[in-house]
């Protein structure tokens, strides 16, 4: 029996997600998930927080792109039925801190 979190089963679950909602947006998100899984070079069940943080540190994406990847990885976490959310990218955390500090002034 195949592992329920194998790359093939994850791709099947991602394909099933496209049956509802915005098709183009979902396809873009699925492409980001596949790119992230290829970057990790390991089975989806073995992808964790460490790989997420390394992915963001190895790529110099804009804030908007990092946010898009974060939500794609978050969707992957949901497909893998993980109990918590993936770590947020550094630029996203910095932007949030800056916004909080700005509102306190």
Q: Per-domain residue ranges for the chain?
A: 7-104
Mean predicted confidence (pLDDT) in 84-100: 85
Q: What is the pTM of this model?
A: 0.81
pLDDT band at 1 (very low <50, low <70, confident <90, very high): very low
* Rg of the chain over all Cα atoms, to the nearest angstrom: 15
Structure tokens at 57: 């540190």
Mean predicted confidence (pLDDT) in 91-104: 79
Query: Rounded distance, CA 93 to CA 66, Å?
Result: 11
């Amino acid at each position: 029996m195949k592992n329920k979190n194998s790359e093939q089963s994850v791709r099947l679950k991602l394909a099933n997600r496209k049956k509802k909602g915005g098709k183009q947006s979902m396809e873009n998100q699925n492409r980001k998930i596949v790119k992230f899984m290829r970057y990790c070079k390991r089975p989806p069940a073995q992808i964790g927080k460490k790989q997420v943080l390394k992915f963001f540190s190895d790529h110099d994406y804009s804030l908007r792109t990092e946010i898009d990847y974060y939500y794609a990885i978050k969707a992957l976490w949901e497909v893998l039925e993980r109990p918590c959310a993936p770590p947020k990218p550094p630029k996203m955390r910095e932007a949030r801190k800056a916004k909080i500090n700005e509102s306190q002034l």
